Structure 1
Amino acid sequence: MPTEVEGTHQIGDMSLYTKTWKPNGEPVAKVVFIHGFSDHCNRYYELFPSLAARGIEVHGFDQRGWGRSVHKESEKGLTGPTSLVISDIVSVIKSQIPPTGNTIPLFVMGHSMGGGEALTLASDPQYADLMKDIRGWVLESPFIDFPQGHAPSSITVFLGRLVGKLLPHKQRWSGLPPADLTRDPAVVESLKADKLDHDIGTLEGLAGMLDRTNALSKGHTRLNKGVRSLWLGHGTDDKGTSYPASKAWFERQTELVDKEFKTYEGWSHMLHCDLPDNRSIFAKDVGDWILARVGPEEVKAKL
């Protein structure tokens, strides 16, 4: 059975909670996972153990402002600006890059807000040199745009930005109904009961998330040339992020040769905890794609 190891990742005076799902024996691949808005790395059900059972080590962490990386009430949703969000993710990724001579490939996977952050990183020229260390990018229901009818009004956005200039750390409840995130009633109740899912953002953090989303949906960013492979999975009944926007973004990536878009017909936002019978399907799809990009001799026994 895979083992789970908790730890911390220190960035200055900030301690981020981490958890690693380790396979038996040496891993054939590693994944750094970026969770979504008001989420944390312990909410991904069978996905991480399933990947670890196939030889894929998964390193998750709770981002600044979320989950077990929150140490007091004032830190809830306190992500800082996009520059800090991305530099935190880069710091974690760099801590997981195999040492020179180790050929284990590293993948980055992001869900929802984390998927949008992964794409922001993959498109940031400041981090172009990092692309050579990342074998592939895996995106689950990435936040590229709001689903139709769910975007905040222009007045709400304008006022939020205005107040945010004066009070960037002002907190605001910004949650989604759990029933909009998954079709599994048990998971809906679990989300309601999870005190770590606080649904609070700061005006600065929310504005940064909107800016990242706007840049992706409007095509204002381009993937760094060093991006080699990309997989994107999205459900057609997603009420958290936009399936059509993901599809449109993907189709614009004409310069990327190794890419795959996977449609999950009728599935909701959290593909990893959709209906119980579907979870193994999603985990297998992700694992198959990753293992297909690992040297064949290392993974024959795992397929």
Structure 2
Amino acid sequence: MSASEDTFTTPDGHELYTKTWKPASTIKARTVLVHGFSDHCNNFEPLATLLAQQDIAVYGFDQRGWGRSVHTPAEKGRSGPTGQVMDDVTAFIKHVLAESEGTGSPLFVMGHSMGGAQVLLYAARYCPSDVVSKIRGFLVEAPFVALHPDSKPWKITVIFGRLAGKLLPHMHMVNRLDPTKLCRDPDVCKALENDPLCHDTGTLEGLAGMLDRANTLETGSVVLGEGRGEGGKTRLWVGHGTADGVCDYAACRKWYESAQVEDKEMQVYEGWYHVLHKEPGEDKVRFAQDVANWVLARCDNVGVDGQGEVDGGAERARL
């Protein structure tokens, strides 16, 4: 397994940091990772390494306004409106497709938290036809469909924030996540809290966009249906911990049940927190294995028409 760093320039000239993890042997599948709020792609360790060890190449990027894609203090959290966020995802996926053209290995897209909501909305509405036809499946980890009740801001704060955002869209607002709610491993919580790249700073425009995207999912305004994937078939995997204190498990489950998709699976992790890929001990390994199993099962049994032979509609609990 090898890991390499690089940069990618968006169509409007913004330079984004990228990280790629590749297997030492033949690549059986490729996965694009979309990180969450106040996060960056290197925090997908050890998931990315564990997937690469199972012949799944992983492509991560720090989103505009986050991680190493921030070049000046003014750029912190400056992700732009939802259209810009989705355009960046499309541009990076096209970059990965061009780089790996001719390999024959299927492409998957996976998002965590805020990135999970982005992936769900992208799959349902924003992914252009020439790209969605090349995506074998979508995976989301603890997606931001709704904030957990203990993490919700006051309504008055949201109202005034939206009003101010229209006048001062690039105004910064610090929105700190409670590190103790992120993971059951206290060392991981401490590392995330002290990570200078996790700056907890959004712009009013960016924060409003994030809340609006979640609202469209929570209210059922966006429902994922068939026809959103390679071969005209949508494939969806969802993983969520029942003790997630950041993103609401019940809201995620409700959205999952509304998805009009034949090949869908939800893994429920009893008592797990928000960052499933960093949970303590062997749990993080089990999570990576669940992801790898789902991805690889949709590589070997898919014919030229893109129709899989695996059973859909599954739901499993990880105790």
Aligned to 1:175: 176
Aligned to 1:246: 252
Q: How does 1:1-303 map to 2 (within 5 A)?
A: 2-11=1-10, 12-97=12-97, 101-124=102-125, 127-223=128-224, 225-227=226-228, 228-253=234-259, 255-295=260-300
Q: 1:209 to 1:193 in 2, by over 3 A?
A: same
Counterpart contact for 2:6–2:17, Cα < 8 Å: yes
CA offset at residue 152 of structure 1?
Answer: 1.4
Cα deviation 1:115-167 (Å, max 9, x = unaligned): 00001111215624422110000110000001123211221111001111110
* Alignment-mate amino acid for residue 163 of structure 2: L
Cα deviation 1:209-231 (Å, max 9, x = unaligned): 01100000001013253222100
Q: What is the alpha-carbon distance in structure 2 between the residues aligned to residue 296 and residue 145 of structure 1? A: 35
Q: Which runs of 5+ in 2 are unaligned?
A: 229-233, 303-319
Q: What is the alpha-carbon distance in structure 2 between the residues aligned to residue 235 and residue 223 of structure 1? A: 21
Q: What is the alpha-carbon distance in structure 2 between the residues aligned to residue 125 and residue 56 of structure 1? A: 25
CA offset at residue 46 of structure 1?
Answer: 1.4
Q: Secondary structure at the match of 1:43?
A: helix
Q: What is the alpha-carbon distance in structure 1 between the residues aligned to residue 157 and residue 89 of structure 2? A: 29
Q: Percent identity?
A: 47
Q: Runs (4+) of structure 1 moved beyond 4 Å? A: 98-101
CA offset at residue 45 of structure 1?
Answer: 2.3
Counterpart contact for 1:128–1:224, Cα < 8 Å: no
* Alignment-mate amino acid for residue 242 of structure 2: T
* Alignment-mate amino acid for residue 233 of structure 1: G
Q: Which runs of 5+ in 1 are unaligned?
A: 298-303
Q: What is the alpha-carbon distance in structure 2 between the residues aligned to residue 185 and residue 168 of structure 1? A: 35
Cα deviation 1:53-89 (Å, max 9, x = unaligned): 0000000000000000001110000000000000000
TM-score (norm 2): 0.89
Counterpart contact for 2:90–2:127, Cα < 8 Å: no
CA offset at residue 186 of structure 1?
Answer: 0.7
Cα deviation 1:5-33 (Å, max 9, x = unaligned): 11011013210000000001331100000
Q: What is the alpha-carbon distance in structure 1 between the residues aligned to residue 128 and residue 222 of structure 2? A: 14
Q: What is the alpha-carbon distance in structure 2 between the residues aligned to residue 42 and residue 276 of structure 1? A: 19
Counterpart contact for 1:112–1:140, Cα < 8 Å: yes
Q: What is the alpha-carbon distance in structure 1 between the residues aligned to residue 69 and residue 126 of structure 2? A: 28
Q: What is the alpha-carbon distance in structure 2 between the residues aligned to residue 90 and residue 67 of structure 1? A: 19
Q: What is the alpha-carbon distance in structure 2 between the residues aligned to residue 144 and residue 66 of structure 1? A: 21
Q: 1:100 to 1:196 in 2, by over 3 A?
A: closer
Q: What is the alpha-carbon distance in structure 1 between the residues aligned to residue 163 and residue 301 of structure 2? A: 54
Let me know the Cα RMSD of the aligned residues. 1.5
Q: What is the alpha-carbon distance in structure 2 between the residues aligned to residue 50 and residue 161 of structure 1? A: 41
